[in-house]
Amino acid sequence: MGFLAPWFLGGLAALGVPVFVHLLRKHVTTPRPVSSLMFFERGTQSSTRHRRLRYLVLFALRFALVLLIVLAFANPFVRRAAANANGRLLLIALDHSFSMRAGTRFADAKQQALALLAAKPHGQKAQIMALGGQVDLLTQPMDDDAQLHAALESIEPGDGHANFGELGRVLRTMSETVPGPIDLHLFSDMQRSAMPANFADMVMPAKVTLALHPAAKGATPPNWTVESVNAPAQLSNPKDPKLSRVEAVVAGFNTPAATKMVSLVVNGKTLDTKKVNVPANGRVTVDFAPLTVGYGFNRCEVRIDSAGVGGDALAADDASVFAVRRSDPERVLFVHEGSDVRAALYFDAALQAAAQGAFILQSSAAEQTTDLDPSRFAFVVLSDTVSLPSIFEHALAQYVAKGGSVLMALGTSAAHHAQIPLWGGSVKQVHDYSRGGDAATVGQVDFSYPALEQAQPGRDNGGWAEVKVFYAIGVDPGQARVAARLNDGTPLLLDKPMGEGHILLFTSGLENLTNDLPLHPVFVAFVDRMARYLSGDERVSGSRLVDSYVQLRVAEESGGALGNVEVIDPEGRRALTLSEARTAQSFRLASAGFYQIHFANGRDAVIGVNPDRRESDLAPMAQDVQQLWSGSSGEHAARTAGAAAAQVKEQPVSLWWYVMLLALIVGLAETAFASGYMGTQREEV
């Protein structure tokens, strides 16, 4: 406590006034007649009684009133911690990614974050952030300690993969909207695998001060995991040794050599268990064959025994789940011109080699399709058929609108027709490259497109660079997605949604006359991915990673037209609201486990979802990398849980109003007591 105007304390000398007043008393004696003074003895009267303080309560009130007035003019104050004058925002980021489940990492990090929040000066604004598969801002900048505490308490361990590059991107965006400096405190295990490929992506902007609070202490603990599982998403013949098998990879991170028991579990029942020797910090492959499953969707998992040498720091990744759907082979309708037999032959051979019996091709000439019902087929292929019976074309349009898919290959017949059936467009130009003596090549390929997807295409453009195209039809892509183009820019493969279905347009043929694609190995891979994409098998079973998305509807305008979408999460709860069930286009798989989905087109799906196995490597970033990231070398240790105190200062808070209010109360009390002593009082002798 202090005084802003201490020289006024000299007024304390006025405290002698009430003392003097209460000691100074005028003695009044009443004359009394006596007959003679001869009988009185002369003596000195004692004044001790008159030097005593009289009316102690009144005296105390007057003394306090003078004291309070003097203190008020001296302006007393107390020092109180207040937010920095620069308006610094305290941003608390708590990592709740999958690796934080190891040991007590998450609990420790949460306790440290709560301690930092409790030490925050009253009045300073703060914000809570959760870092997992995505960066979630749980609050707005506020000084409400109760809401901030509740938001921090609500964060629970997740299954996502943390990305410090995404954190840097979010902070760069925030720095453009937050007016003052930002003090970011990150509570995380600082996992090395969370670093982006480019370190610059995780660098914070100039106005952000980063303080790291590592939750992982000591040496990196050992951890075994089921790193990957290769299993068929759809199985038509469990006795086929080439298809009916499960291949799992068991990996160890910072582990000694150990023997592990690995089991294949189907619908809660263990089908097979094998003993494998996992080398130190190594991997081993385990095969299970045959895969015996019943018809319909089967919930499967490969599980390892977490007990054994060295323990296991993260038991949650000791199993990998996947779904297998057993069904009879689905039929595919292949419609072609009567004189064209090569296209069906090449397509069927590639389909059987790739899908391994999952599809049966039914070939039919265009003029014989009048009585065919497209809804009985997994998908339909139109090869060089731009003229269809009106009945079949109408049925095909309804089939696509309700969720079916069609692959249209434009051969030489398209040059003689202005309109393209189903597609809704016209032929713009005919490219006959063979007349120029040189064939066109595939210049651009979108490998993120499901029918062309490749993780590492390579220098040969995923095998498409060797393909020669002699004949192609130029069309206006409009709103369609162009998945591949020729070297002259002509679209080669286009995808156009229609209702709940798709139409794929291949602007060349499927035989070896308009191009030599059927003669290249990439043709088999293309037919395989395209067949699974058109039939919808890639989204009705198998496995996905946490934070991936599943498409619920094809076209936004068709939302609710065919029915609602229903999603049941691993906890058995409905994941969509009624409004979302009518309109949602996609859904984020946020948790590990099995999701059950009923699509708007009537199809069902069971999808096994696993955490990203990069989270299984619990090794943290090197200490020098952490210091480089936080922008400090020697000062890093000082920015710990008490760093918030260094970011604030104390400021005086005046007590003048409180003192004056108390003086007013004392003055009123003094007036009330003094009124009782206003009369003249006589002294008795």
pLDDT at 247: 94
Report the C-alpha gap between 488 and 496 in whole angstroms: 22
Q: 89-220+622-647 sits in which CATH class?
A: alpha beta
User: Which of the residue ranges 277-286, 326-335, 350-359, 648-657 would you say has the lowest mean pLDDT?
Assistant: 648-657
pLDDT tens string 160-199: 999 999 999 999 999 998 888 999 999 999 999 999 999 9
CATH 2.60.40.1930 location in the chain: 540-613
Report the C-alpha gap between 378 and 359 in whole angstroms: 8
The CATH number of 540-613 is 2.60.40.1930
Contact 609, 594 (CB under 8 A): yes
pLDDT at 641: 38
Burial class (CB within 10 angstroms; exposed 0-12, middle 13-18, buried 19+) of 637: exposed
pLDDT tens string 448-482: 888 888 877 777 778 898 999 999 999 888 889 99
Give the residue with greater pLDDT, 598 vs 33: 598
Report the C-alpha gap between 497 and 501 in whole angstroms: 6
pLDDT at 246: 93
pLDDT tens string 617-659: 999 999 999 999 988 433 443 444 344 444 445 667 778 788 8
Q: Which amino acid makes up residue 609?
A: V
Report the C-alpha gap between 117 and 155 in whole angstroms: 14
Report the C-alpha gap between 24 and 46 in whole angstroms: 15
| Domain range 225-326, CATH architecture | Sandwich (2.60)
CA-based torsion, 473, 479, 482, 483: positive or negative: negative
pLDDT at 237: 81
Average of per-residue pLDDT across 553-570 = 71
Q: 330-535 sits in which CATH class?
A: alpha beta
Cα angle for residues 324, 328, 334 (degrees, 5° grid): 115
pLDDT at 682: 46
pLDDT tens string 20-45: 777 665 555 667 777 766 666 766 55
Residue among 312, 97, 316, 313 at smallest CA distance from 188: 97
Give the residue with greater pLDDT, 433 vs 24: 433
CATH 3.40.50.880 location in the chain: 330-535
pLDDT at 179: 87
pLDDT at 68: 82
Q: What is the number of other CB atoms lying within 10 angstroms of the CB of residue 606? A: 20
Average of per-residue pLDDT across 102-113 = 94
pLDDT tens string 49-103: 445 556 777 778 778 888 888 787 878 877 765 545 457 899 999 999 999 999 9
pLDDT at 685: 40
How do strand 468-469 and strand 471-475 relate by DSSP bridges?
A: unpaired
Query: What would the two tokens of residue 462 be?
Result: 């995923």
β partners of residue 653: 78
In three-state secondary structure terms, 260 is strand
Report the C-alpha gap between 437 and 492 in whole angstroms: 20
Give the residue with greater pLDDT, 43 vs 208: 208
**What band does 557 get if pLDDT is binned at 50, 70 and 90?**
very low
Burial class (CB within 10 angstroms; exposed 0-12, middle 13-18, buried 19+) of 359: buried
Backbone φ and ψ for 506, nearest 5 degrees, come out as -105, 115
β partners of residue 589: none
CATH 3.40.50.410 location in the chain: 89-220+622-647
Contact 95, 188 (CB under 8 A): yes
pLDDT at 644: 43
SS3 letters across 542-567: EEEECCCEEECCCCHHHCCCCCCCEE
Q: Which residues contact 206 (CB under 8 A, 6 or more apart)?
A: none
pLDDT tens string 227-239: 999 998 888 888 8
Give the E-state strand segments of 357-439 in sequence order: 359-365, 379-383, 405-409, 427-432
Residue among 496, 478, 481 at smallest CA distance from 407: 496
Report the C-alpha gap between 184 and 205 in whole angstroms: 11
Average of per-residue pLDDT across 112-134 = 92
**What band does 1 get if pLDDT is binned at 50, 70 and 90?**
low
Cα angle for residues 639, 103, 622 (degrees, 5° grid): 45
β partners of residue 429: 474
Report the C-alpha gap between 231 and 633 in whole angstroms: 49
Give the residue with greater pLDDT, 6 vs 430: 430
pLDDT at 57: 79
In three-state secondary structure terms, 399 is helix
Give the residue with greater pLDDT, 497 vs 80: 497
CATH 2.60.40.10 location in the chain: 225-326
**What band does 574 get if pLDDT is binned at 50, 70 and 90?**
very high
pLDDT at 664: 87
